[in-house]
Structure 1
Amino acid sequence: MTLPSHDRYDYSPIAARPGFRWPQGKGLAVYLGLNLEHFAFGEGLGAELAPGGPQPDVLNYAWRDYGNRVGAWRVMDMLDALSLPATVLMNSAMYDYAPALLEAHRARGDEIAGHGRTNSERQSTLSETEEAALIADATARIARAEGRPPAGWLSPWIAESHVTPDLLQEAGYRYTLNWCMDDQPVWMRTRRGHLLSVPYPQEVNDIPAVVARKETASGFAMLITDTFDEMLEQSTAQPLVMGIALHPYIVGQPARLRHLRRALRHICARRDDVWITTAGAIADCFASQMPHPERTPETDQ
């Protein structure tokens, strides 16, 4: 029996792959994916603290907006205190809504990655032409503000059409965070070349953990520390990537922030044993050591 396939990558057991290491011979790379999102008022999609009523859903809109007004600034203070970099996964609408927040992350030197225009929409519901325009709009807005286009992309709601990887590669993206099938970067095929998949977590991610599974603040912190300790042990055999996906309207709430700080301090205590970095640096390091065997100057354009 032959099942329908995406044909983006082949099966590869992690125990049978060629070896490589992260900088300074380290086995575990850790990055923080900080989602900065803006939502339409009275329409569109959005995570819910409680079941939403008829629009305008003021409760859930205001809860999400707390992240941009308060939570993101508290998270940034914590990252500064712990000397931690971040990959900022940003809706391009944030440039018009909260420019001061983006200026602060730019001043920190954080990586800015594409995250659509707004999390009120899914690109998977669009035609190919419309989806290409969405990617182009978000990319151009980031490039104007940051002086260069982003290297990485995370779709709002991790929503893809059948051609999303093709469109990202054609738009100049070097890596995607949409696929959570591995603990190492994986080269993906597209119709005009190759795109690197960098692991982005759906377990160590506050939306599935807190919003969907109703994990407590302490439980989410334990999920982070237990994952870190286990992956650090595993990384003696194979180099691994641990991402931590955060949304300030969730983890920026005071009680959750306190437990998150404890978990990140646990990771920082092993700073000499791991590579704490950004998703883009992980993509570049992997590509330099493990280039796709079929890559050519033509397919990289």
Structure 2
Amino acid sequence: MTSTIGHSLRKRLPYSPIHARPALSLPGGARVAVWTIVNVENWSPEAAMPRTVLPPPMGQPLLPDLPNWAWHEYGMRVGFWRFVEALSSRGLKATFALNGSVCELYPEVCAAARDAGWDFMGHGFVQRPMHKVEDQRAAIGQTIEAIRAFTGKLPRGWESPGLTETDDTLDFLAEAGIEYVADWVLDDQPVSLATRAGPIVSVPYTVEINDVVISAVQQQPSDEILRRGKDQFDRLYLEGAKAPRVMAISIHPYLTGVPHRIKYLEQLYDYILGHEGVVTWTGAEILDWYKAEAAKTAG
């Protein structure tokens, strides 16, 4: 029987209880850094949909899957623009996790994110698990180049579709120049992960304050993102008095961007912004803060 104690995932980082680490400090004594991740994707009409809201008639899958493709397409045509308004009206900037092919398919969406100063983060070239990508290096390179060509800047972060990684993905990302990832949902503070090309930072992401889980998987009521988000924030804010925490809010235009959910996201932002001691950053800003703090500790 083969032991899993030495699995490559565990070799990426040492175990470290959060209360026993070197102290981190947010500017002005803030307690929580909150970042929003807006995920935009390319759902190909020729393939099976990444997720479905409507099962096929008589259980017989169909291609093209028009109702489920259109469910997602609504988010790109309508829901996304509600996000732009909700964030810009509150002076917030998102981290924009996009499939590289979105730059060509939805240039108006990408232009709006670029012009709003959002932090572009690679999210695969198309919406496909990394285990199903034939050439990960090529797909990562295509994604990085598509973002560079559209924005004039190289992306610093990466979120794999479905948070999927093979044993090699992290090494490929670091070798391609990616500085932080959002796949490792294992902490409330950034941590450093080992790769063949040197360390890469895990910025705390979430599968709980994430509308895919809340709305598409668990099928919770429309206001669940508000109720759960407030509870998440309250605990992190309490704990942040001793050591700062990071809170992620992950949203998709076809889920939280719909009319019956958007107001609950807006109410969550208003609740969070009503507290002192909160910074609202992008993933890249959290990365830069953490690297500066780690350098102080090392010094």
TM-score using structure 1 length: 0.93
Residues 1:13 and 1:55: Cα distance change in structure 2 (over 3 Å)? same
Question: Which residue pairs with 1:41 in the alignment?
Answer: 45
Question: Which residue pairs with 2:155 in the alignment?
Answer: 150
- In 1, Cα distance between the equivalents of 2:45 and 2:295? 44
Is the CA contact 2:133–2:139 (under 8 Å) kept in the aligned structure 1?
no
Which of the numbers 244, 252, 277 marks the counterpart of 2:257?
Answer: 252
Question: Which residue pairs with 2:20 in the alignment?
Answer: 16
CA deviations 1:129-170 (Å, max 9, x no partner) are x10000000001101111111000000111111011101100
- Name the SS of the counterpart of 1:31 in structure 2: strand
Letter in 1 for 2:214: A
Question: Which residue pairs with 1:297 in the alignment?
Answer: none
Question: Which residue pairs with 1:216 in the alignment?
Answer: 221
| CA shift for structure 1 position 220 | 2.0
Question: Which residue pairs with 1:281 in the alignment?
Answer: 285
Q: How does 1:31-180 map to 2 (within 5 A)?
A: 31-52=35-56, 53-119=61-127, 121-126=128-133, 130-180=135-185
| CA shift for structure 1 position 42 | 2.9
Letter in 2 for 1:3: I
Is the CA contact 1:38–1:65 (under 8 Å) kept in the aligned structure 2?
no
- Name the SS of the counterpart of 2:28 in structure 1: helix
Residues 1:133 and 1:47: Cα distance change in structure 2 (over 3 Å)? same
Which of the numbers 199, 210, 215 marks the counterpart of 1:194?
Answer: 199
| CA shift for structure 1 position 293 | 8.6
Which consecutive unaligned segments of at least 5 residues does structure 1 have?
Answer: 295-301
Moved more, 242-251 or 97-106: 97-106
| CA shift for structure 1 position 117 | 1.0
| CA shift for structure 1 position 191 | 1.4
- In 2, Cα distance between the equivalents of 1:97 and 1:2? 42
Question: Which residue pairs with 1:241 in the alignment?
Answer: 246
- In 2, Cα distance between the equivalents of 1:237 and 1:58? 51
Question: Which residue pairs with 2:274 in the alignment?
Answer: 269
- In 1, Cα distance between the equivalents of 2:297 and 2:226? 39
Residues 1:71 and 1:18: Cα distance change in structure 2 (over 3 Å)? same
| CA shift for structure 1 position 285 | 0.6
- In 1, Cα distance between the equivalents of 2:153 and 2:121? 11
- In 2, Cα distance between the equivalents of 1:211 and 1:259? 16
TM-score using structure 2 length: 0.93
Letter in 1 for 2:21: R
- In 1, Cα distance between the equivalents of 2:4 and 2:70? 48
Is the CA contact 2:48–2:65 (under 8 Å) kept in the aligned structure 1?
no
Question: Percent identity of the aligned residues?
Answer: 32
Question: Which residue pairs with 2:5 in the alignment?
Answer: 3
CA deviations 1:267-288 (Å, max 9, x no partner) are 1112x32011111100111011
Runs of 4 or more, structure 1, over 3 Å off, are 291-294
- In 1, Cα distance between the equivalents of 2:65 and 2:4? 45
Question: Which residue pairs with 1:30 in the alignment?
Answer: 34
CA deviations 1:177-229 (Å, max 9, x no partner) are 11001000010000121110001101100001111111111122111111111
User: What RMSD in Å do the two structures reach over aligned CA positions?
Assistant: 1.7
- Name the SS of the counterpart of 1:201 in structure 2: coil
Moved more, 80-89 or 168-177: 80-89
Letter in 1 for 2:103: Y
- In 2, Cα distance between the equivalents of 1:93 and 1:168? 18
- In 2, Cα distance between the equivalents of 1:18 and 1:196? 16
Is the CA contact 1:125–1:161 (under 8 Å) kept in the aligned structure 2?
no
- Name the SS of the counterpart of 2:200 in structure 1: strand
